[in-house]
Amino acid sequence: MPGLARKLRLHDYFALAFGTMIGTGWLVLMDDWLGRGGPAGAALAFALGGLILLPVGYVYGQWVRRLPDAAGEAAYTAQVFPPIVSYFTGWMMLLAYFIVCPWEAVALGKIAAYIFPRLDTWELYRVAGQPVFLPRLVLGCALTLLLCTINYRGIRLSANFQKLMSSMVLLIFGMLAALSLWRGAPANFHPVFRATPLLSVLLTLQIVPYFLTGFESVPKYAEEATVGFRERTYMQAIALALGVGAFFYAVCIAAVSYIAPWQSLLGRRFATAAAFEHGVGKHWIVQLILVMALFGLFQCFNGNFAASARLLFAYARRGTVAPRFAFIHPVFATPSVAVVGVTVGTLLALLLGDAILVPVTEVGSMASALGWFAACLSFWLVDANPRKRLISGLGVCVSGLFVLMKLLPAVPGHFTRYEWLALAIWLALGAMLRRSPAPAGVTARP
């Protein structure tokens, strides 16, 4: 059986991981973040999230050296848990990646309609009271098919696309941060917290896993590293993506709150753009921010699309879903059938429109944290080294707390009935598709 193309280097891994983390949330949901924690609470939550997730990143770096398998969490948990636990762990992680794809496809129409209001015409139907417009739906479908083509034709093409998008996002981000520092004022920060400091940080910290999901995507491409790739480079890519991603979000929140009074942004559509237009007094800054948002959207969509396809491919190779998804294209050396499968799923979910934006954030956040928890717990059980067990134990505690914050009714911001329903539907779908597992394709190293 042919293998996947081996073409990825450090900068490719960083771009794929960073791009998976940074999409359009900083534009589309900035008012929600500030409404949760205020400028200090939200920024501290993202910075703290990046810091406390370092043990989780360390565990993934160790796992990919021991077990370079695209199945990721499903392969790791299979070392110590029954097949059904392994299957549903990976299935939840697939949700965390896949659910971003329709999210970004919907966000494209939302951003485009901000620029061209005439796109908000030809209403087709409504979902949870939110209209679905034909032009926006067509735009989302077109982008999905474009990324399908890129990923179908090769990981090198996908990685090059990702590097270009990431470079543009970071370049414009640096310009905006400098502009905020120049034109902003400390008075715009007050009050620095929305509620008490602890509650402000906690309410934002609950959704941080969703927006920092991506650093652990590095192992999904472990089988596509270039010949001679050094194992410790995986750890470097994970740490770099996690650190830069958390820094990006924290600084973005601070820049928005510094350039305009943050309380005036609550409930505003595209609060980031509104803040900079207020601070600069010119409309051209809005156009620049929307361009940056499009670059971010493309990279996040592409990163999550590629990771979803690898997980689906790995599942099929292990025999836990339909074997046809394990097909590798003889010319492009890509998981081509899995790529098409993710495309079809994205197009179907895209039909739900804007109604999926905030609920998807909540469910995806818990799914990510659950995958991290399973990976850390599995490593804690298989590696007896005291130092590594201490770090993996910290990872278990951190990721476990993230899971409990969404599931326990006593915690503010816990799951609503709609989010429980979405989770139940995904688990039911996984149960329907599950097959008896085959022997794993990659053997763990001691």
The pLDDT value given to residue 1: 55
Alpha helices, H only, 383-416: 386-407
Residue at token pair 């409404």: 35
What are the phi and psi torsion angles at 225 (to 5°)? -70, 145
Q: Examine residue 153 and state whether it is found in any structural domain, yes or no.
A: yes
Start-to-end C-alpha separation, the chain: 26
CA distance 268 to 124: 25
Q: Examine residue 248 and state whether it is found in any structural domain, yes or no.
A: yes
Q: What is the CATH number of the domain that holds 355?
A: 1.20.1740.10
Q: Examine residue 3 and state whether it is found in any structural domain, yes or no.
A: no
Domain that holds residue 348: 10-433
Average pLDDT, the chain: 89
Helix (H) or strand (E) holding 131: strand 130-133
3-state secondary structure (DSSP) of residue 432: helix
CA distance to 136, 250, 349, 385, 435, per residue, from 120 (Å): 7, 32, 19, 58, 43
Reference 194, options 414, 406, 43; nearest CA is: 43
Helix (H) or strand (E) holding 328: none
The pLDDT value given to residue 437: 58
Spans of the chain below 50 pLDDT = 439-441, 443, 446
**Residue 403's Cα: distance from chain center in Å?**
16
Q: Examine residue 443 and state whether it is found in any structural domain, yes or no.
A: no
The pLDDT value given to residue 440: 46
* 158 contacts 171 by C-beta, under 8 angstroms: no
* 75 contacts 440 by C-beta, under 8 angstroms: yes
What contacts 356, CB < 8 A, 6 or more positions away?
A: 102, 103, 106, 127, 349
Q: How many domains does the chain have?
A: 1
Maximum alpha-carbon separation in the chain:
63
* 104 contacts 24 by C-beta, under 8 angstroms: yes
CA distance 275 to 254: 11
**Residue 381's Cα: distance from chain center in Å?**
27
Tens of pLDDT, residue by residue over 199-210, are 999 889 888 887
Burial 240-250 (b: 16+ CB within 10 A, else e): bbbbbbbebbb
* 416 contacts 37 by C-beta, under 8 angstroms: no
Q: Examine residue 438 and state whether it is found in any structural domain, yes or no.
A: no
Q: Examine residue 446 and state whether it is found in any structural domain, yes or no.
A: no
pTM score of the predicted model: 0.88
Q: Examine residue 401 and state whether it is found in any structural domain, yes or no.
A: yes
Q: Examine residue 46 and state whether it is found in any structural domain, yes or no.
A: yes
